[in-house]
Structure 1
């Protein structure tokens, strides 16, 4: 589980190194194509056999998947890895709290909202567009979780995720090619984008599958709350992106709110937490 989280955030950090040469759009396009190839090999979807009822959530998942990754990487380019991933984490937190009437969950929502206010507090240097992009990624992640659940109910194995990755990769063909022709990427930048695709798709996909065979799915969902902390630490060590102390406290508050919310959800035995998703494949979107 730790390898999954660190790999995902390391992939995002490496991807950011290619932004100057390729731009976020070019990097995301390469990453989507890598994800499509990997998931097609793993899921082997029988596309011709899909019904209209199966295609609808798959297409919705593909659009959300594409928008989520572009919004997140664009946010990382503007406001840094730690802050972008923390704000994006509001997506699964909202899904976990939606519809709950428990006072504990209401308290979690209040804590998370207060932490967000601290993180986005107006300052002369505040990048509001970057914050908006991170929040858009959060909305997409929440939609992804709900759509992924529907896809999982209607299609066996990883077929739905693989089909969504294929469609998402196809959507990026004209956009990605135009971006790459405009930016003229260097070999090093392409290597970073490919590495990001592997680290944020293949490694988490395999790690999650292995982890979910050994630990309860609910515990897995709680553990994934470390992702914003991992992102902030990797951003600090690898990219030199410093968060002020008050922002660190806000990050930890959002992590704590998510941990409590997920840890106190009622789950049928053996049912996987809906807030887990964030990788390519059956355990979440590769957007991480």
Structure 2
């Protein structure tokens, strides 16, 4: 999902290509039914993968599950992007390396937050990242109101309580900051490295960084077949399936429509967390999630986004 929204942020700043002949534009103003189904399947796959990965936390812990997910992401992205690493210059390498660090930190902080505060709240807090990027470039009064709405949602989710897990909430906000940095770095990498070679190289470096982590987890806590299967399923459902689905979808819908649709992920995360993990949400949590989702939908789905 972060890979897709990073491409969305970049695509929204590019001028549309000139038509090469008669006929409709390549990207329609409204999503086709097939594109809507694909976006729904992508979002549901992403959140289901995260929930299945959480089932392996008691055995592998969040670092072990994230390590496996990084391996799967590297395999998929390298197969798609086919990076020519030896041809990279120093000017290309440094944003790729930063992107790898941000990518690894983002996934580790998110999965650790999921372990502490639940899938729905963690994903909701993470979505403040792309919202912050959109608001930072805004000059509209409506967006200021959306910022206040999102802030009210955050205050509702993080309100002081004896049982509040502020560490987990802080990790969710760290994931949001990493996602914002991920979007900006992806734009830089996209300008300096052709095609998908940059994200593929970053995923490969991130997987290499997590290689000793995976080995250490396997030695200290030998994985069971069920835990290993859940971790691999998380990598496939949360990395491989969304990547391929989003690559197909972004050819059929505009960037604002795609970003708007991605705003439903916190809602899906809450539902999947409740069904798969038994993580219930109270009325206050639902109201906070709804406020942040509404702010994302209004800002990211605006015509000039």
Q: What TM-score comes out, normalization by structure 1 length?
A: 0.91
Corresponding residue number in structure 1 for 2:8: none
Corresponding residue number in structure 2 for 1:199: 237
Deviations 1:157-195 (A, max 9, x none): 110111000000000111221122122211110000000
The alignment status of 1:11 with 2:58, answered yes or no, reads no
SS at 1:73 equivalent: helix
Corresponding residue number in structure 1 for 2:258: 220
Equivalent pair of 2:117/2:169 in contact (CA under 8 Å): yes
Deviation (angstroms), 1:265: 5.7
Task: Structure 1: give runs of 5+ residues left out of the alignment.
Answer: 268-288
Corresponding residue number in structure 2 for 1:159: 197
* Correspondences of 1:1-288 after superposition (within 5 Å): 1-264=39-302, 266-267=304-305
CA distance, structure 1, for counterparts of residue 111 and residue 63 of structure 2: 8
CA distance, structure 1, for counterparts of residue 226 and residue 275 of structure 2: 21
CA distance, structure 2, for counterparts of residue 168 and residue 138 of structure 1: 18
CA distance, structure 1, for counterparts of residue 45 and residue 175 of structure 2: 19
Corresponding residue number in structure 1 for 2:33: none
Count of aligned pairs between the two proteins? 267
CA distance, structure 2, for counterparts of residue 177 and residue 7 of structure 1: 27
Equivalent pair of 2:256/2:302 in contact (CA under 8 Å): no
Report the structure number with the largest CA radius of gyration. Answer: 2
CA distance, structure 2, for counterparts of residue 13 and residue 265 of structure 1: 33
SS at 1:184 equivalent: coil
Deviations 1:59-109 (A, max 9, x none): 010000000000000000000000000001100100010032321111111
Give the ranges of 4+ consecutive aligned residues of structure 1 lying more than 4 Å apart after TM superposition. Answer: none
